[in-house]
């Protein structure tokens, strides 16, 4: 029995915790009549303690995790200057598609309003929401007066900017700063491991958060959750069948139907594995079969698995609108622009640990002051959505790689169009 339980993945345990939390919460709501047991013991102590403790652990991770990830990510990405045009083009395309993805998500969230109906406006908020600022104030607030103060208070935009600057400098003077490069690299590994440890408590935390939510809301809390899932899936579908094919046609004039026909097996593997990194070898081989030079793909695909997180960006954009609507907060234009910027920058450090996208979602919430408690409501279903997100992420990596290879004349379009067989290349990875 224990052996079978040990084989259950963390994602499935989180899903189990979510479902049990919903059932227990509804049972408490409808069948526990004693107000002392229901409110004092369960709602305000047991469920509150378990859920809030998990949220605090997540918040504890955010600043050091993002800071080290940004520094390490940028310092390695900055090396593409030696690769020249290919590196610059790749990064620009990846960041643009991520910005488009989160913008689409925000628009979908505004239209469908997944958080409407939760009525959590009375819940306590730990920070002020960025609703309306001038663009001048938004830009100025991105530059820290005191970076250590920003690190201490969790002011994420200045932390990101500070981390980017350090990463650029470390890449520029790498030989003179080997000790600092090693320090940030090891710091990043420590935070990744700490994230993995904290995530082991996620099923319990999700159970308590869901039980407390549905213990107070009842069945009316289910519809917003279903609408949230629908919004994310719509956003992923738009990115997959409209944005990516449009880019392929506009920038290369290649037929996207031919791409999808040959790439479907990679998408299914990414969907089933829920990890972009495990899909890298299969992605490289499939692109070689399409006529893409391995000299290009061996750089762009691993880089994309690290910084091209369009699916995660869509989830974060929808989650922002979900939380804002649930708490009755009307976000201003500057707050939405802040979300786009933060989500794009967060994509640099989201790879390597399962569900780390939800940790960086905490950073996105903090950047505009949204209550991070709302993350607990959507946490349990993230494992299911993560499979769809990974398929979109991997497809985006491949499309961008084809575009970069085509623009740099490193692609055989006759092979892509099936007019001649692919050249067998030696695997680099």
Q: What is the pLDDT along the chain (429 residues), one digit of tens a residue?
A: 666 667 777 767 877 887 888 888 888 888 888 888 888 888 888 888 988 888 788 778 777 877 887 787 677 655 545 455 677 788 888 889 999 999 999 999 999 998 887 766 555 444 445 544 555 665 676 677 888 887 887 766 687 778 878 888 888 887 888 899 899 989 888 987 887 788 788 888 888 877 887 776 656 667 777 889 999 999 999 999 999 999 999 999 999 999 998 898 888 888 866 667 667 778 888 888 899 887 788 778 877 776 788 888 899 899 999 988 888 888 888 888 888 888 887 776 554 444 556 667 877 888 788 887 777 777 767 767 887 888 899 999 999 999 998 988 888 888 888 877 766 554 433
The answer as to whether 427 is a domain residue is: no
The answer as to whether 429 is a domain residue is: no
The answer as to whether 148 is a domain residue is: yes
Please give the helix or strand (H or E) that residue 131 lies within, else none: none
- Distance (Å, whole) CA 116 – CA 178: 51
Q: Which residues of 15-49 are buried (b: 16+ CB within 10 A; e: fewer)?
A: bebbebbbebbbebbeeeeeeeebeeebbeeebee
Residue 258 pLDDT: 92
Residue 309 pLDDT: 83
**Burial label, 246 (beta-carbon count in 10 A; 0-12, 13-18, 19+):** exposed
CB 239 within 8 A of CB 311: yes
The answer as to whether 425 is a domain residue is: no
Could you count the other beta carbons within 10 Å of the beta carbon of residue 363? 26
- Distance (Å, whole) CA 29 – CA 3: 35
Residue 273 pLDDT: 62
**Phi, psi of 411, deg, nearest 5:** -135, 140
Residue 127 pLDDT: 45
E strands, 130-263, are: none
The answer as to whether 421 is a domain residue is: no
Residue 84 pLDDT: 55
Which residue, among 37, 26, 14, 12, has the nearest Cα to 205 in the 3D structure? Answer: 14
- Distance (Å, whole) CA 301 – CA 105: 24
- CATH code, 358: 1.10.3860
> Which residues lie closer than 8 Å to 222 by C-beta, 6 or more apart?
22, 214
- Distance (Å, whole) CA 274 – CA 12: 12
Place of tokens 């989650």: 319
- Distance (Å, whole) CA 36 – CA 45: 11
CB 321 within 8 A of CB 109: yes
The answer as to whether 1 is a domain residue is: no
Reading the block at residue 134, the tokens are: 């001038």
Reading the block at residue 354, the tokens are: 């399962």
The answer as to whether 4 is a domain residue is: no
Could you count the other beta carbons within 10 Å of the beta carbon of residue 117? 15
**Which range of residues forms the domain containing residue 134?**
9-416
pTM score, whole prediction: 0.73
- Distance (Å, whole) CA 179 – CA 172: 14
The answer as to whether 2 is a domain residue is: no
Q: How many domains does the chain have?
A: 1
């Amino acid at each position: 029995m224990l052996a079978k339980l040990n084989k259950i993945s963390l994602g499935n345990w989180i899903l189990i915790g979510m479902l049990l939390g919903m059932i227990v919460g509804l049972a408490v709501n409808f069948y526990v009549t004693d107000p002392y047991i229901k409110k004092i013991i369960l709602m305000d102590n047991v469920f509150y303690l378990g859920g809030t403790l998990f949220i605090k652990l997540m918040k504890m991770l955010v600043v050091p995790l993002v800071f080290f990830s940004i520094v390490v990510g940028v310092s390695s990405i900055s090396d593409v200057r030696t690769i020249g045009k290919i590196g610059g083009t790749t990064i620009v395309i990846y960041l643009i598609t991520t910005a488009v993805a989160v913008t689409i998500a925000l628009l979908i969230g505004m239209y469908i309003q997944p958080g409407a109906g939760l009525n959590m406006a009375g819940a306590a908020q730990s920070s002020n929401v960025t609703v309306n600022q001038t663009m001048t104030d938004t830009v100025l607030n991105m530059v820290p007066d005191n970076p250590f103060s920003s690190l201490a208070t969790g002011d994420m935009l200045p932390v990101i900017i500070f981390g980017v600057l350090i990463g650029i400098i470390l890449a520029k003077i790498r030989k003179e700063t080997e000790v600092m490069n090693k320090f940030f690299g090891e710091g990043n590994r420590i935070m990744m491991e700490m994230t993995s440890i904290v995530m082991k408590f996620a099923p319990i935390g999700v159970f308590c958060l869901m039980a407390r939510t549905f213990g107070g809301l009842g069945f009316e809390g289910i519809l917003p959750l279903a609408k949230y899932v629908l919004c994310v899936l719509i956003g992923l579908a738009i990115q997959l069948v409209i944005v990516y094919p449009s880019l392929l046609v506009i920038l290369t004039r290649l037929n996207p139907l031919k791409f999808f026909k040959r790439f479907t097996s990679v998408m299914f593997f990414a969907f089933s594995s829920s990890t972009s990194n495990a899909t890298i070898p299969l992605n490289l081989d499939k692109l070689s079969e399409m006529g893409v030079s391995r000299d290009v793909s061996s750089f762009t695909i691993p880089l994309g698995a690290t910084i091209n997180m369009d699916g995660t960006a869509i989830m974060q954009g929808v989650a922002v609108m979900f939380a804002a609507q649930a708490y009755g907060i009307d976000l201003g234009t500057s707050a939405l622009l802040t979300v786009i910027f933060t989500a794009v920058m967060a994509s640099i450090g989201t790879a390597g640990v399962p569900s780390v996208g939800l940790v960086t979602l905490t950073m996105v919430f903090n950047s505009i002051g949204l209550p991070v408690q709302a993350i607990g409501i959507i946490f349990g279903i993230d494992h299911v959505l993560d499979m769809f997100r990974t398929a979109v992420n991997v497809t985006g990596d491949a499309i961008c790689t084809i575009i970069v290879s085509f623009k740099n004349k490193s692609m055989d379009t006759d092979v892509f169009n099936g007019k001649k067989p692919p050249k067998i290349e030696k695997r680099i990875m």
